[in-house]
Amino acid sequence: MDTVTVYNTLNVADAEVVASRLEAAGFTVAIDPELDAFASCGLLADGIRIRVPADQAKEVSEFLAAPETEAPPIT
């Protein structure tokens, strides 16, 4: 399966949030490199890439570009 990078960051927490948002929306997500002990220590000079299947890339890019909506208040 061909994958493409749709998001790149040096921040582990940022990568986890973006990957979680995409997974919650039903997209197939791969984090490259996988987040492990080295990543959590900040040893990622090349950054963290969020990758998705090529056939989802356009939809994912549009999803990420759309403004985030807030959940309605709980009453």
The reply to whether 48 falls in a domain is yes
The reply to whether 70 falls in a domain is no
Domain assignment of residue 50, given as a range: 3-61
- Which tens digits make up the pLDDT trace of 57-68? 999 999 999 887
* pLDDT for the residue numbered 5: 94
The reply to whether 66 falls in a domain is no
CB atoms under 10 Å from CB of 15, counted, come to 22
pLDDT at 45 over 70: no
CA angle 37, 1, 63 (to 5 degrees): 75
* pLDDT for the residue numbered 51: 95
pTM: 0.77
The reply to whether 41 falls in a domain is yes
The reply to whether 75 falls in a domain is no
Distance CA 37, CA 73 (A): 37
* pLDDT for the residue numbered 40: 56
**Percentage above 90 pLDDT, the chain:** 55
More confident residue, 38 or 18: 18
4 phi, psi to nearest 5 deg? -130, 150
